[in-house]
Chain A
């Protein structure tokens, strides 16, 4: 009797928690779908080939002709450069934490803890910080300035998410490489990076997505211009700021273009994610 009761209670628990999980998943998916739907419904009618292939012409922000090619290119260059810089810093840090330092190392603990804190800092602060550094070196608002600010912004995200996957590489696998006479450096690049490659590429993608969508870090650092980006040291337009400016006008036509720009940004992230997935799959068939 008692036993039966117990089973009833457990089954009830099971059902309650399962419903909760289904509900949460549903709520998240619904919210995402609603956001996407809004962007598509309001943006798609305004999206045109001209918008994707031209820089803004005079009067663009008042509803006249032109496009956002300046911002598309600016965002791609800027975030691409920042992602590259962030990889150059994150990968060595993560390999150092996981291959060179022992598991219980206080230094590793402090490093991880700092990344977690850096992750939570609002992006406007990174913008301000980047701006201070630019002043120090006499760099004006420019593609390079924005790149540096975004690198700071995405570095903790990239390092921490790379760290999580590199940590999962089994110690025995590293031992197998050491046993063959490999040094730590050789093991890090020939074995650990290969084994963690799918996770590393996800980390880069997450960071890229976070970087390309951020406006606040760029206000002071990248500036804005209607011409296409040609120089690292000249101001560059970016999609988040283009969206921000277009939303800022009272004209419904221009606001529609803001949605179209947001849609473009979403599509860029989508295309890059899919492409990166396909590429990584080619390189990761060896993962054990």
Chain B
């Protein structure tokens, strides 16, 4: 009962108009681990990640077939409630997009959508998750100032706190460190290492070294196909597929 995966994908196909960008992807994402999606740019990593929380719905002319089960529920079922699904996941995008409001209101945004109005509770939530994202000490004196005035690195941690405040089980990250300087990137990576005890984390990266530092489980995508997936050690040290080996050795990119 406990071993049911948070996310499992069955025969997922995604089309953008006539372009077939994901071919028949099937995989089970292990719980409470960091799963890293690697592959060259344009291979469909972002698309796969966005199909986990149906953010892909906002793309023009998108068509999805197959299933993505989150906690056993097919999120592409016409009866599925999309806002409910999304509350189970926090998202970090390539560039942080703080909402046009204060630092406090950014973190309180999700809980407020769920109807939380109690000021004391909100205060506690905001403080707690800013701590978790290790941003609290830097912003505790300016919670009411605009989020846009934070540095990009701080904004990304704010987005992490904001995502966690919704109470998700899963954290999705689409190259979440690619806009950050090395120090901020390290900061974010450390958070992921702490958070994986409590959350199922799925990260996209095209930086192999980062993948090696973080991954417990790896998916290798190439031209929209899931070439190979398995525990990080296996994929990095002893890949079964020739293509995976070549990608890891830097022969193809």
- A residues sitting closer than 8 Å to B (CB atoms) are 102-104, 170-183, 186, 190-191, 194-195, 285-288
Contact = CB atoms under 8 A, between A and B. Distances in A.
Interface string B196-227: 00000000000000000000000000000000
B100 A102 contact: no
Given A175-B93, A176-B93, A181-B113, 18 more contacts: A102-B60, A172-B97, A173-B99, A173-B100, A175-B55, A177-B99, A179-B86, A179-B91, A180-B162, A181-B83, A181-B87, A181-B114, A191-B99, A194-B99, A286-B102, A286-B147, A287-B146, A288-B147
B108 to A, nearest CB: 11
6 contacts: A104-B61, A171-B58, A174-B58, A179-B86, A194-B100, A286-B100
B58 to A, nearest CB: 6
Nearest to B103: A286
A287 B100 contact: yes
B148 A179 contact: no
B163 interface: yes
B53 interface: yes
B97 A286 contact: no
Among B60, B86, B99, the most chain A Cβ lie within 10 Å of the Cβ of B99
A285 B159 CA distance: 19
A102 B53 CA distance: 19
B239 interface: no
B30 interface: no
B86 A178 contact: yes
B193 interface: no
Q: Which 10 A-B pairs have the closest CB atoms?
A: A181-B87, A179-B91, A288-B148, A176-B97, A180-B110, A286-B146, A195-B100, A194-B100, A181-B83, A286-B100
Contacts of B148: 286-288
Contacts of B97: 170, 172-173, 175-176, 288
Nearest to B88: A181
A180 B109 contact: yes
A70 B97 CA distance: 50
Nearest to B91: A179
B117 interface: no
B95 interface: yes
B146 A179 contact: no
A104 B84 CA distance: 28
Interface in B144-166: 146-148, 159, 162-163, 166
B91 A176 contact: yes
Interface in B89-123: 89-91, 93, 95, 97-102, 109-110, 113-114
A283 to B, nearest CB: 10
A183 B147 CA distance: 22
B95 to A, nearest CB: 7
A186 to B, nearest CB: 6
A189 B124 CA distance: 26
Contacts of A177: 99, 109
A181 B58 contact: no
A170 B166 CA distance: 22
A287 B110 CA distance: 19
Given A104-B60, A172-B95, A288-B148, A179 B100 contact: no
A174 B57 CA distance: 12
A164 B162 CA distance: 29
A277 B53 CA distance: 40
A159 B110 CA distance: 30
Contacts of A186: 113
A288 B86 CA distance: 23
Contacts of A103: 60
A58 B231 CA distance: 94
A180 B100 contact: no
Interface in B53-75: 53, 55, 58, 60-61
A118 B166 CA distance: 45
Contacts of B87: 180-181
B209 to A, nearest CB: 26
A177 B87 CA distance: 11
A159 to B, nearest CB: 22
A172 B174 CA distance: 12
B100 A183 contact: no
B55 A178 contact: yes
Contacts of B91: 175-176, 179
Nearest to B155: A288
Contacts of B55: 175, 178-179
Nearest to A195: B100
A227 B84 CA distance: 59
Nearest to B105: A286
A102 B162 CA distance: 27
A161 to B, nearest CB: 20
A181 B110 CA distance: 7
B166 A181 contact: yes
